[in-house]
Amino acid sequence: MMNKRKKRFYQYSALGSVVAVALALTGCSADTGGGDGPGDEAVEVLLFAGPYATVAQQMLPEFEKESGIKVDLTVLGGEVINQKTSTELLGGGTSFDVMSIRGDSMPFYGSSSVLADLSDFLEDSELTPPEYELSDITPMVMNYYNWKGAQVGMPWIADAYITYYRTDLVEQAGLSGPPTSAEEYAEYAKKLTNAPEVYGTGLTMQRSHNLSSEYYQWLSIFGGAVVDGDGNSVVDSPEARESLKHYVALKDSAPPDVTNWAFERLTTGLSQGEVAMALQWASVASVMEDESQSKVAGKMGYAPTPSSPNAASVVGGWGLSIPAASKNQENAFKFIAWMTGPEMTREIAVLGGGPARMSLLNDKEMNEQFPWFKAQGQSLENAVARPRTPGWPEIDDFMSTELSQVVTGSLAQEEAIARIAEKVEEIVTRK
């Protein structure tokens, strides 16, 4: 029988999908109907669509009643919200007081001076009281939303790569537990391949940011990087060559059409039993355990990403930021403190989502309900941010183009590394 927590997740997921589609297509706001605060303008909020935004919408009347602050909520999904964010922040002014922004975009927007520094709010004991438990958020996740000492966002949804593996197939193959190194991962992928019924690993090799992100995950495992701590290009390295060779070789244990796979297709491949393993974002683990849409419920194991020699997991997720142009920053921060506080973060956790608080990821009861939480918590402790440079969006796009040529066989690996290194050098040294 489905337990209450999982039932709530599927209810919210279904409702969230309906709300996301409706609002993304119409561009409408979700007006909660709350009363205006005394003499205060409404806080205008833009959220990324999904079940977590749906929870926020449903619980918003409680916040409005307790705070006396009215909130107008706009929910957008997919690439629409990224385009809207760019237009709003870089267009000379914005109508929003709070915006949910991808964590890897913080260097870009932070360097553009379009986001407010939340440091003073965080140091104000009235706005950030002890019960907010700021120390419960790992420093790495906090730093993901920091740019050059300015806290330009707060973690809302935390995500990280973890290893998904079919426990039943691993056992049948005579293997012991999940792969713990890059070499073991490649070995497992070969042994678990039984084409065409099942392939050893899934990959996201379609030209998109999923491709560059997945390669960056393997690059980090091998100890490489795109830029160093000072923002200098370090792509041209033995680690980059070794990790790319390893990554491309995994294609031999993947479905034939894997160069057409992106994030959604990999999720489907895992949940439908087409592939036995993958490095995939923890945020989709709940799909695997949903018997209404998964063929592998109860058969999927979760572990930290392999190490070879580095224990490294690329971190992702969404944060909440205040545009520097907002005239309602204190009330905007009160909303953010509510959204990212222990109570609301627990609501995200109860949905099987990506809480940014370690106490929830390590909670025994939560781990019994959501078996991927432990792996996600371990991954966040070894988190690696995508390149911390304002030029990352341009680098990301260029890398995905070059890598797509490599995985389809139209560009040599050595030449790709050289071209990526040259482009990164050009971008990071650009005045």
Task: Return the bridge partners of 69, or none.
Answer: none
177 and 305 housed in the same domain: yes
CATH label of the domain that carries residue 52: 3.40.190.10
Q: What is the pLDDT of residue 93?
A: 78
Q: What is the pLDDT of residue 349?
A: 86
Residue 289's identity, in one-letter code, is E
pLDDT tens-place values along the chain, 431 residues long = 344 444 444 444 433 433 433 343 334 444 444 444 444 689 999 999 888 898 899 999 999 999 999 999 999 987 799 899 999 999 877 899 999 999 999 999 999 999 999 999 999 999 999 999 999 998 888 999 999 999 999 999 999 999 999 999 999 999 999 999 999 999 999 999 999 999 999 999 999 999 999 999 999 999 999 999 888 999 999 999 999 999 999 999 999 999 999 999 999 999 999 999 999 999 899 999 999 999 999 999 999 999 977 789 999 999 999 999 999 999 999 999 999 999 999 988 888 778 889 999 999 999 999 999 999 999 988 889 999 999 998 999 999 999 999 999 999 999 999 999 999 999 999 85
Residues 305/162, Cβ–Cβ less than 8 Å: yes
Q: How many domains would you assign to the chain?
A: 2
What is the Cα–Cα distance from 350 to 366, expressed in whole angstroms?
8
What is the Cα–Cα distance from 212 to 190, expressed in whole angstroms?
23
* Residue 301 CB neighbours (<10 A): 19
Range of the domain at 151: 4-159+316-384
364 and 419 housed in the same domain: no
Q: What is the pLDDT of residue 26?
A: 36
293 and 324 housed in the same domain: no
399 and 412 housed in the same domain: yes
- Please tell me what DSSP assigns to residue 279: E
Q: What is the pLDDT of residue 67?
A: 96
306 and 320 housed in the same domain: no
30 Cβ contact list (under 8 Å, min separation 6):
19, 23, 57, 73, 74, 75
What is the Cα–Cα distance from 355 to 348, expressed in whole angstroms?
6
Q: What is the pLDDT of residue 382?
A: 86
38 and 181 housed in the same domain: no
Q: What is the pLDDT of residue 32?
A: 44
217 and 188 housed in the same domain: yes
Q: What is the pLDDT of residue 431?
A: 53
408 and 266 housed in the same domain: yes
**Given CA atoms 226, 259, 383, 118 in this order, what sign does their dihedral have?**
positive
Helices and strands: H and E segment counts in the chain: 19, 11
280 — phi, psi (to 5°)?
A: -145, 160
304 and 416 housed in the same domain: yes
55 and 139 housed in the same domain: yes
242 and 297 housed in the same domain: yes
Q: What is the pLDDT of residue 34?
A: 43
Query: Among all chains, which residue has been given the structure tokens 């707060």?
Result: 154
DSSP codes joined into one string, 101-159: EEGGGHHHHHHTT-B---HHHHH-TTTS-GGG-GGGB-HHHHHHTEETTEE--EEEEEE
346 and 308 housed in the same domain: no
